[in-house]
Structure 1
Amino acid sequence: MKLNNKVALVTAGASGMGRAGSELFAAEGAHVIVVDVNAEAATEVVKGITDKGGSARAAVVDVRDLNALKQLADEVMAEHGRVDILYNNVGIPGAAGLDLTPEEWDTGLEINGRASFFLSSYLTDALKASGNASVIFTSSTSGLIGSPFSPMYSFTKGGIIALVRSMALAMAPDGIRVNAIAPGSVETPGLPGFFRASPEETEKRKAAFFAQIPLGRAAQPEEIAQVALFLASDMSSFVTGVTIPVDGGLTAK
């Protein structure tokens, strides 16, 4: 039980990498607040956790709504008095190419960057109260080497890497560690959104992209969750301000 009695909050916690993280954190002893805009999916994840003897609750929130995020932070502080793990996992592929609209650009910024920053800000007192908190962001290899599909996505995910370094320095005096994971291709429901093509063409583009990965495949969500567990737990007690690629060797090239 690496997270025994910890309070963990996971955004976009009802699908893909977030779901895998929610389930693993709960299996390791944490009480998990599964934050998602999809009420049905969040409820399903919570039921799966509690049916196995774990502890979790759902919080249905649109992360673009800063008032809702502030309310969530206040609720969690009132319920628990602290947050030990904040997994800022929420993100979207965003509009592809250079011809996106200003509205599409703003949506990408809101979901991929603004939401996680302000939720972290609103939870600062709760994180300080932990005395040993871990904040984890989901960046991307697209923030390290650039995405041929979505410049906006690279912009936001690269910004997360810089944000993590800055926040790690600002929060270290309070015993709060801040790190990021930079996944490569991961087999999640959102993966086809990166390729912006018909189902048949998407499969071709996926195969071509996976062929560039030294390990020759995409990651499974559970493989990302294992790295999140490392960063959430005392196994990484002296790790802060870093971004860990989990990409099958892609960025090593």
Structure 2
Amino acid sequence: MRLKDKVAIVTGASSGMGASTAKIFAAEGAKVLCADVNDTDGEAVVGIITQAGGSARYQHLDVSDVEQWQAAVDAVIAAWGTVDVLINNAGVAGSDPDRLSLAVWEQQMSINARGVFLGMRAVIPVMQKAKRGSIVNTSSISGIVGQVFVHPGYNAAKGAVRAMTKAAAVQYARDNIRVNSVHPGMLPPMRTSKMSADPAVRAKAIAAVPMKREGRVEEVAYANLFLASDEASYITGIELPVDGGYLAQ
């Protein structure tokens, strides 16, 4: 098992990439705290994991809230004693038709950027004490390039995740804490998707992908698994695209 006896926090674990990551991590031997604001679906993911023989707990977590982050870390420590892995996955989609909306900008920065920083801020002291840890931050191809149908706040937030990841990788490498980012491309629509859920928009976006298909959430989850595992013990500060070749063009 690639994560045997590791303790992981996975945010945005009620659906999509987060749910897939939580299930795969548990199957690989990790104890997983599944965190989300969607309690019903999050509890359902925990049920699937435990019924399959895995170890998981659910925690309500608004990633933009400092106190809720502390409560989540406290719950993990109380249950399992440490935090080995953080998958900073929670986020909201950015394909809003009103690309000058200040409300969308503020939402993007609060959840997709601030939420990632607060997650690192909450777990790094625990990892420093243990002298080990792996953090994987979910950015996006939108953190590297612009797209016509994406609100600039999404690009800005995901670009901030990319930069934060590199800063933290350099600053905490001496503590044996690895920090990397994954950059998914076109995936199935999220619960919060707007324009990117439109079939015409999706068809154009997929046509621009060299592999000519959308990705699967499991493909991102397995990238998270590799970066979280000891197989990646000398890898930190990288940005790993999971995008069917989009960024290679």
Aligned residue identity for 2:111: I
- Give the TM-score of the pair, scaled to structure 1: 0.93
1:157 maps onto 2:161 in alignment: no
Structure 2 Cα separation of the partners of residues 221 and 115 of structure 1:
21
1:167 paired residue number? 168
Instruction: Give the aligned residue type for 1:193.
Output: K
Shift of the alpha carbon at 1:68?
Answer: 1.2
* Whole-Å separation in 1 of the counterparts to 2:132 and 2:224: 16
For 1:190 and 1:175, how far apart are their aligned partners in 2?
A: 36
- Residue from 205, 217, 222 that aligns with 2:201: 205
Mean alpha-carbon deviation: is it higher for 143-152 or for 237-246?
A: 143-152
Equivalent residue for 2:70? Answer: 70
Alpha carbons 1:36, 1:42 under 8 Å: kept: yes
**1:96, distance to aligned residue in structure 2 (A):** 4.1
Q: Is the 8 A contact 2:189 2:196 kept in 1?
A: no
Matching of residues 100-249 of structure 1 within 5 Å = 100-101=101-102, 103-149=103-149, 150-190=151-191, 192-195=193-196, 202-249=198-245
Quick one: distance in 2 between partners of 1:88 and 1:194? 24
Structure 1: distance between partners of 2:208 and 2:192: 16
Work out the percentage of aligned pairs sharing the same amino acid: 38
Instruction: Quote the offset at 1:132 in angstroms.
Output: 2.8
Read off the aligned partner of 2:202 and give its amino acid letter: K
Whether contact under 8 Å (1:17, 1:221) holds in the other structure is yes
After TM superposition, give the deviation of residue 162 of structure 1 in Å.
0.7
Deviations 1:75-116 (A, max 9, x none): 323333311110000111244443202x32211111001112
Are 1:42 and 1:58, in contact at CA under 8 Å, matched by a contact in 2? Answer: yes
Counterpart Cα distance in 2 of 1:184 and 1:121:
27
Q: Distance in 1 between matches of 2:161 and 2:71?
A: 24
Please tell me whether the aligned partners of residues 185 and 246 of structure 2 are also in contact (alpha carbons under 8 angstroms): yes
Report the AA paired with residue 9 of structure 1: I
1:224 partner amino acid: V
Equivalences for 1:70-109 in 2 at 5 Å? 70-94=70-94, 95-101=96-102, 103-109=103-109
Contact 1:70 1:119 in 2 (8 A): no
**Distance apart, 1:70 and its partner CA:** 1.8
TM-superposed deviation, 1:32 = 0.4
Q: What are structure 1's unaligned runs of at least 5 residues?
A: 197-201
Partner secondary structure for residue 145 of structure 1: coil
| Matching of residues 19-98 of structure 1 within 5 Å | 19-94=19-94, 95-98=96-99
Give the aligned length.
Answer: 247
1:199 is matched with none
Describe the SS at the equivalent of 1:109: helix
